[in-house]
Amino acid sequence: MDPLMPEAIPSGTTNSGDTTRTAALTALCMAILAIAIGYGAAFRQSGTPAWAPWLLALGIPISLGAIMILGAARGERGGGVGPLKLPFLFVVAVLAIGFCAALALPATESPLSKLWLGLPARAAVVIYGIGLLPIVVLPVAYALTFETQTLSAEDVERVRAIGKENRERASLAKASSGNELSE
């Protein structure tokens, strides 16, 4: 066994009870499956069916939201994503509504179109809604909840202590294998 590798944890101690992570993983799996079906449908000889893009329009926001929740959920401190629920929900909704609006709204772009911040309505939904709104919410939510939801000085110290133990164990193993060789 590699001396740098600490012992494996006993069987059955994985945190399977974490409902947030389980839900996020299930959502991620379902969303990827929906996207796969959407792509699969495009291979039909009669052409891409009209419902295929809708699967991606819903599957993409859900998959991105799910993987973010999976990453943000903590096993300790009660688990879950705490106050991050709202920003995640908001961004998934913004992306899904944006994509669905772009699919559903009729094409009315013309020289007489009303412009929203310099763009016709459907383009404004895409550029400002999908492209800019998440920037206002997600990175700010990440920073504001960083110490409580992501990483605290105490977390770093715990991991550094383990790192120190790992290094000491490795150097001991190296020294003892050196002694055995010299004997």
Partner 1 sequence: MIGISIPGTLLQVGLPSAAQPAVIAVGVLYFSVVVAISVWAARKTRTASDFFVAGKGIGLIALTVASVSVSVSGFAFIGGPGFIYAVGLGAMYIVLPAAVTNVMGAWVLAKRMRLLGEARNLITIPDAIGARYRSPAAQGLAAVAMLVGIVGYMATNALAMGVVINSIFGVGLGWGIWIGMGVTLAYSASGGILAGIYNDVFQGALMALASVLVFLFVLGYGGGLGGISRTILAHDPTFLGPWGKLTPLAALSFFFVFSMGSLGQPQAVHKYYMLRDPLQLKWYPLLKTLGLVLVLLLYFSVGVGVKAFVLGGRLLPLASPDQATPSLLLNVTPIILAALVFSGVAAATMSAANSFINIGAAIVSHDLPIAFGRTVRNELGWGRAITVLIAIAAAITAQRSGTMVAFLGIFGWGLFASTLVPALAVGLNWQGATRAGAIASIATGLVVTLALETAAYRKAFTFPAGVTASAVAMVASFLVFFLVSWLTRRRAPLELDSDVQLVMEL
Return the residues of window 123-162 that contact partner 1 according to CB under 8 A: 123, 125-127, 130-135, 138-140, 142-143, 146-147, 150-151, 153, 155-156, 158-160, 162
Here's the x/- map for partner 1, 25-54, by CB under 8 A: it reads as x--xx--xx-xx-xx--xx---xx---xx-
Name the residue nearer to partner 1 (CB basis): 11 or 182: 11
Query: Distance between CA atoms of 162 and 139, rounded to whole angstroms?
Result: 30
Name the residue nearer to partner 1 (CB basis): 2 or 180: 2
Query: Distance between CA atoms of 84 and 17, rounded to whole angstroms?
Result: 20
CA distances from 81 to 20, 24, 66, 72, 158 (A): 8, 11, 12, 6, 21
Among 19, 71, 168, 176, binds partner 1 (CB under 8 A): 71
Q: What angle do CA 109, 111, 116 make, to 5 degrees?
A: 65
Query: Distance between CA atoms of 60 and 63, rounded to whole angstroms?
Result: 5
Query: Distance between CA atoms of 145 and 2, rounded to whole angstroms?
Result: 37
Among 20, 27, 62, 68, binds partner 1 (CB under 8 A): 68
Two structure tokens written together for 42:
């495009």
Name the residue nearer to partner 1 (CB basis): 105 or 176: 105
Q: Is 12 in the site for partner 1 (CB under 8 A)?
A: yes
Q: Return the amino acid letter for 100.
A: C
Q: What are phi and psi of 71, to 5 degrees?
A: -75, -35
Two structure tokens written together for 71:
């990453």
> Minimum distance between the CB of residue 182 and partner 1, rounded to whole angstroms?
19
> Minimum distance between the CB of residue 86 and partner 1, rounded to whole angstroms?
15
Q: Is 16 in the site for partner 1 (CB under 8 A)?
A: yes
Q: Is 80 in the site for partner 1 (CB under 8 A)?
A: no
Q: Is 91 in the site for partner 1 (CB under 8 A)?
A: yes
